[in-house]
Amino acid sequence: MIARIEEGGIFAGGTVAEARRRLVEEWTRMPAEYITLIWHYAQQSKNDVIRAMELFVTKVLLDLPGSASA
């Protein structure tokens, strides 16, 4: 079941490079002004969630085509 969810392409997990590559592919196919990110505080520790958010903003989102920082 998890493999089928991953194959759907709506999740961009993995390493920073993998997440960035998948998001750039998505942006290329369908540019958007906003994306929705969901972290589950109930299933993760606060520190894990904060670390994931920091990594996303500083390493993945930075300079994506069409983003405000690009």
pLDDT band at residue 64 using 50, 70 and 90 as cut-offs: low
Domain that holds residue 40: 2-60
Give the DSSP H or E segment for 27: helix 16-29
1-55: per-residue pLDDT in tens? 778 877 776 776 788 888 888 888 887 888 878 878 888 788 889 999 999 889 8
User: Does any domain span residue 66?
Assistant: no
User: How many structural domains are present in the chain?
Assistant: 1
Q: What local confidence, expressed as pLDDT, does residue 68 receive?
A: 56
Q: What local confidence, expressed as pLDDT, does residue 65 receive?
A: 59
Q: What local confidence, expressed as pLDDT, does residue 50 receive?
A: 92
Going by C-beta distance under 8 Å and a sequence separation of 6 or more, which residues neighbour residue 44?
A: 52
User: Does any domain span residue 70?
Assistant: no
